[in-house]
Amino acid sequence: MRLAPALVAFFLLAAPGAGPATAADVPGDPARGRGLFADKGCARCHHPRGQPGLGPALEELRRPQGALELAGRLWNHAPAMFALLKQEEREWPRISAQEMADLMAYLQGNPARDPVPDLSQGQVLLVRKGCLKCHQLRGEGGTVGIDLTKYHGRYASPIAWATTIWNHSPQMAAHSARLGLLYPRFSGEEMGNLVGFLRAATQASPQ
Ligand code: HEC
Ligand code: HEC
């Protein structure tokens, strides 16, 4: 089958990892984010300070912070929220890239507040956080999860990364429990350093 040149160009542009043009440029809207915080059920567990809730107070979530720092906090979220939702027999809420952009804008996660990543720290973290127990990078590591080299589009923007994390972390937490591994937690600049390293490592060896 022959494809029209325009269609071929479309496929090339739309190919995963074709560049940071994917979710990086989706501007978030804080007002829409506030609505999503209610619609996705976040507000059920995260109440304003002073009102008891199942999760930390809204003010602890919503404060000026780096976008990748916030992604790290969303990563930490998986085991506790997964367990609570299971008790309630509710589904894990899926979040699209646009919705994540809006939620991040509402929660005041701003890429400009993430420090320049320390790539050697990022490389250390990939091992220390146990990612290679399940994933491969450039042929090294485990095979429970996908090869991290193949997904460089996901490292291109904090929003793409946070969306990926949000939608996959419940399975990762479940696998960790099954394999008897401790689900890793991230703090401060750690997630930024890790993603910075993954971005650099996968750019150096495109698939
Ligand atoms: C079923 C209850 C529940 C729901 C629904 C829920 N959370 Fe949480 N959330 C928690 C709990 C419990 C924690 C503490 C997790 C931990 O530290 O292990 C938490 C922690 C967090 C944190 C990290 C706070 C920190 O300590 O740094 C963020 C950010 C967050 N939630 C955002 C959200 C967003 C966004 C949504 C909606 C898409 C959401 N949560 C929905 C229960 C919930
Ligand atoms: C206990 C095993 C395990 C550990 C540890 C683990 N992962 Fe995963 N990971 C998985 C599995 C299984 C999936 C596929 C989940 C799914 O299909 O939803 C996955 C999915 C992913 C994805 C999404 C891939 C996609 O299809 O979009 C990314 C990115 C990822 N992991 C990164 C990491 C990073 C970074 C670390 C270390 C901080 C890590 N993982 C630690 C098992 C693990």
The residue contributing the CA closest to ligand 1 atom 5 is 42
pLDDT at 50 over 80: yes
The reported pLDDT for the residue numbered 204 is 65
pLDDT value at 97 more than 90: yes
Q: Would you give the end-to-end CA distance of the chain in angstroms?
A: 25
Q: What does the alpha-carbon distance between residue 154 and residue 77 come to, in Å, rounded to a whole number?
A: 19
Ligand 2 binding pocket (C-beta < 6 A) is 129-131, 133-135, 144-146, 151, 154, 164, 168, 171-172, 175-176, 179, 181, 184
Burial of residue 165 (CB within 10 Å: 0-12, 13-18, 19+) is buried
Confidence (pLDDT) at 46? 96
Condensed to tens digits (0 to 9), the pLDDT of residues 150-172 reads 777 889 899 999 999 999 998 88
Distance CA 145, CA 136 (A): 8
Distance from Cα 114 to the centre of ligand 2, integer Å:
23
The rounded distance, in Å, linking the Cα atoms of 129 and 141 is: 13
Q: What is residue 140's three-state secondary structure?
A: strand
Q: For residues 189, 194, 198 and 200, what is the CA-based torsion angle, rounded to 10 degrees?
A: 50
Which helix H or strand E contains 137, and what residues bound it? strand 136-137
Instruction: Name which of 157, 155, 69 is nearest 114 in CA terms.
Output: 69
pTM reported for the whole predicted model: 0.88
User: What pLDDT score was predicted for residue 95?
Assistant: 96
Average pLDDT taken over every residue of the chain: 85
The type of residue at 191 is M
| Burial track 81-100 (b if 16+ CB lie within 10 A, e otherwise) | bbeebeeeeeeeeebebbbb
- The pLDDT tens digits of the residues spanning 53-92 come to 999 999 999 999 999 999 999 999 898 998 899 999 999 9
Name the residue at shortest CA distance from atom 25 of ligand 2.
164
